[in-house]
Structure 1
Amino acid sequence: MTLRAVLKSWVDHYLSDEEAVILLVLLVVGFAVVIFMGRMLAPFLTALVLAFLLQGAVSWLERHRVPHLLAVTLVFLAFVGLLLAMALILMPLIWNQLVGLVQETPRMFASGQRLLDDLQARYPQLVTPDQIQNWIAAAGREITQLGQRALTLSLASLGNVLALIVYLVLVPILVFFLLKDREALVGFTVSLLPQKRTLMTRIWHEMDSQIANYVRGKFIEIMIVGTVAFITFAFFGLPYTALLAVLVGFSVLVPYIGAAVATLPVAAVAGFHFGMTDEFLYVLVAYGVIQALDGNVLVPVLFSEAVNLHPVSIIVAVLFFGGIWGFWGIFFAIPLATLLKALVYAWPRGIKRHREDEGHVAPAGE
């Protein structure tokens, strides 16, 4: 079979339907807009995610016979209150603890160096003094570069205060109108699509509910894990409790990898504060229990309706989309992977099923 025949067979299989061609064009244009104009459209994309998150609360109030405008207003006021609480209470606390941790890093580094020296003295057959010195030198370079990056970031951020204020004002306004005029905006978008959109409608209904459930579920998971971690660390008297709790909460965004990465700062702070004592072991055990309950209890409850993906697919999606879009790519890695899976399964099969349905319907009307 020639290359031309192979290409013709592929086109006939995947792009023989007009709706499939339009769907392909929409996907390419959508990805191109996000890739090349994502920074420009960041406020709108952020507001869109938040609207997805809040729409569940609006729908719940409407089901209890609350008028649409009143439901949107109540949910929006709660959202603004939470946003102000984070901006005025949580963020300054986290920033102060971050500054304190950076200032405490040299002492933690010296304590770790003494620990390595003690281990080398007790177990000289495991590592040599030269290896320990190389490790210490490499860690020192990384810490120095990290401090320089943090200082550069803090100085650069001072010039973006006005842009941040505009961002914080613009996003809530967009969220309000996305919630208030959701039906009109969706209707206008649908009116731009062709009349024949069976395949697109099927994929849209499937992904709309899944992405919305994923965003809300992930937000709830972050809040629960972060709150439980904060209470646990505060119970043990661990310093930098709020900072570590936020880190542990956001670690659930990256499956498998996030929990392992968050373990390092928790273990480092606990080891520096308690030393190699029973309290240090208790903190690590408690942190392990939190991660185990999250993975085996909380995630199945929150994401029971999500499409199952292989762990390799999840990791590849996190690496790929995170490399393209950064934080939002990591956040939406699983929904985007689910979308790709739905497209792969629905595209040729959906066209074939649609043709078969048309073939069955035609004789019935005769």
Structure 2
Amino acid sequence: MIRTRSLAVDGSRFRRLAPLAFPTAWGAVAVAWKFGCPLARQPGLPARIATSLVFLTVGAGLVLGISRGLVRELARVRAVADAAQRVLLRPPPARLDGLTLAAGQLSATRGAVVGGDLYEAVATPYGVRIVIGDVRGHGLGALGAVVALLGSFREAAHDEPELAGVLRRLERALRRHLRERAREEHPSRAGSEPEHPVAEEFVTLLLLEVRADGRLAVLNCGHPAPYRLGRRVDRLPVGEPLPPLGAFPLPDALVPYSAPRLLPGETLVLHTDGAEEARDRRGRFFSLDEELGRPSREAPAALVRRVQAALLRHTGGRLTDDVALLAVRNDRVRVPAQPAEPGLRRPRPAPSPHC
């Protein structure tokens, strides 16, 4: 196994150096020509021009070979990073227990697929459970908290019968992550003060449970309320907000807010605050409610793409905060009770033997 790994490493190094083989060989020929050819040692102008052209060609070949190798290496690294980020913040399934879902993420960090926003939806025996959150700050520096919260949610959503239990698990996971980060970033260990102290980190978060009959249970930790798209566009009531996770301990009593039912055909649009705080060059905020209120019968995926495109147009492609969108449409159909076919009569119950 060790020999196989060594051969693989040697092969990888050979592939990286392969683009430099031709310019290096050409350079060796140029040096040999310079010092071994009598014409190259003549003091005349034609000889100097020929020598300069040879070495210019060698230099251009070396630069081209190195740049091509770097471009290929960058493409490989970017492909691996994109794959890792998409595993972390995977897109939700298109259909989940009668609901149609779609999500999208815009990162403020150039070249990143994900940032400090998170979302997930899973079908459980207690209903479809959804989380959306926003870690303080943005970009790749917030990925640690995103990893901790998503990993905890994906387990707790199936294990905990009560939505309050899921939130408790998320709080414990975030606390563990912050303790570990505090140890790693301590000046005695890291050698410098952290850019974003752990004491200042918190997460706004919204937990939502969609039950089989469309009833909604909500726990909101300082996160923007979602929009409901039905006959009109309005905010879904989510009750009194709890403190963001990490800022203060959760209260002893956690009672989910019972929101109005999500009726068949209605859509919920969950979002992070970057969607409503995005500004254009004049400092004007993006009007998310107006964009959602445009008359349309789009599927959730088309709705998310349209809002993302409108956001990028409004900001000119210069986002200052991450933006996450999650659209959930109730496509469950209640089948009415079917009447008995004409001509068929219910059988009479058998007479009691005591009659």
TM-score range, shorter chain: under 0.3
Q: Higher relative CO (CA 8 A, sep ≥ 6), structure 1 or 2?
A: 1
TM-score, scaled relative to structure 1: 0.24
TM-score, scaled relative to structure 2: 0.24
Greater share of residues in strand: 2
Greater share of residues in helix: 1
